[in-house]
Amino acid sequence: MLQYKAMAPKTEKATIQKTDEEWRRTLTPEQFHVLREHGTERPGTSALNSEKRSGTFVCAGCGQPLFSSDTKFESGTGWPSFWAPVEHAVETSTDDSLFMRRVEVHCAQCGGHLGHVFPGGPPPTRTRFCMNGVALDFKSDERD
């Protein structure tokens, strides 16, 4: 089983804290559902699945850099997948919903739910951070 540092409840650990009403003013309804209510977007619906440019995937809630494009890979799952996050960018907790135990991934800065991490990714980590695209924004390294 994967071993990750367990995250305390987001209200105790996150450095950015807002009320639900404050989050609702800055997020779309779908972003709020995923980031704040631990929802999941439908697989294959994110434009970030096909994002191939060099850049950084950041938290859609707070802008925290989360994943480098250098760690993105095609997992075939229908969600943007990465083999490693930016150092100290994410925290994890145990998710016992859906009658199974999974490792949930949160933004370390705002506590937003991003997705889950599983074994079976490519080297060097052999892990698969399967993220909801709606929980991410992409910042390209390319100049306009």
Q: How many angstroms separate the CA atoms of 82 and 69, rounded?
A: 8
Give the Å distances, CA to CA, from 5 to 8, 27, 69: 10, 28, 24
Inter-residue contact 57 to 137 (CB < 8 Å): yes
- Could you write out the DSSP letters of every residue in 2-36? ---PBPPPHHHH-SS---HHHHHHHS-HHHHHHHH
Q: Which residue type is seen at 110?
A: C
Q: Which of 59, 62, 107, 130 is catalytic?
A: 130
62 is catalytic: no
| Residues tagged active-site | 130
